[in-house]
Each structure stands twice: as structure tokens, then as C-alpha cells.
Amino acid sequence: MPPYYVGYFVGSLSEQSINRALARALIRLAPQELELSEMVIKDLPLYNRDLDGHFPKVAVDYKAEIAKQDALLFVTPEYNRSIPGALKNAIDWASRPYGENVIARKATAVIGASPGAIGTAVAQQSLRSVLSFLNAPQMNAPEAYITARPGLITPEGEVTNPATEDFLRAYMVSFFEFIERVLTVVPGPARP
């Protein structure tokens, strides 16, 4: 029963990131049935399998937050034709050690913004490959590669172009519908 808890990841660590502004816009435009909260990745050390079995507290707490979510939204830039290292590191922490993957079976969606003409298309394909391996159901359509022109989205998350605003609102409605479908087939964990 709604609300559905959606953890969102911003692939950039920068507070001025256009993807952080995009995340704020998505929160503003999301259906009221979605309760979004950021999965903070900036404090995670580099993943090291030597720590399997005795994760640092920051990683334990981070995984516990992901485990509480019904769905995950990835808002990522593209760095060198792939996902940022910080985001990949965060995914590695969430999926390790073997058998303790907290991303598995969660409804996921991928979106990103870039000043470049192809948005974040290549990074998103790389991320989709990782999510497939981690057994995370993915919303495949609509795809969303946002070409972020200056002023398109304010730092506070206000979208200045009505067509872009309508598209992003429809994207979040589609994600809500996808979450409902996934949770019908793959029920989430019992809520406390």
C-alpha cells in the first residue's frame, strides 16, 4: 500500500551537480505516493573485499537504508563514457559480500543529465548492465537522457521548460506504475 519508499542515488558528489538539480526536480514532480530519500554515497570508503564480514559502520548503515526501500532511482552523470567511480563504489558496497546484495529484486529506474547532446546514454547503458547482473528489475521505458542547457533546471529543482517538466513528471508517473507492477510480482520486505 502506498506510499512507496524510493531511495535515490546522485552519481555525482558535487553539490552543484546538474544531476543533483535533476534529482530535486524529480522529487518535486513525483506522484505523492512516492516518498523519496537520498542514499548518501559521499562518505563511503573505497570498497575492499578484505572488509567483508566486518564492514565499517557507514557501510552497514548505508546498506540498511537501501534495504528499507521499495525501489531505487539512479540519477547519474556520465564520466568518460561510463558511470562515476563514486556511484560504482556505492553499488559495490550495496551488493557485497556475496549473498548480501540489497539491490536485488528492487524496482529500479535510471536517468541522467549532461550538457552533451547524447545526455548520459552511454553511462546509463553501463549502469543498466550492472543492475542486470545484480538482479534488479529495471524500468526500460521511457528512457530519459536529459540535455541540460544552462537554466533548464534551477539548483532548487524547478524546471523552466514546460515540455521538459511534463516529460519528467510523466517519467515519474511511469516509475510509480512500474514499482506497483514489480511489487505485485516480487513483494518487498515486510515493513516494521
Least confident of 65-69, 92-96, 183-187: 183-187
Domain boundaries, the chain: 4-185
Cell representation of residue 9: 542515488
Do residues 39 and 65 touch, judged by C-beta distance below 8 A? yes
DSSP 70: S
The dotted CATH code for 4-185 is 3.40.50.360
**Spatial contact of 90 and 41, defined as CB atoms under 8 Å apart:** yes
The pLDDT, as a whole number, for residue 39 is: 98
What is the rounded average pLDDT of the residues 54-73?
97
Mean of all residue pLDDT scores within the chain: 94
Reduced to 3 states, what is the DSSP secondary structure of residue 114? strand
CA distance 16 to 102: 29
Q: Which residue has the cell 555525482?
A: 12
pTM here is 0.95
Alpha-carbon distance of 31 to 60, in angstroms, equals 30
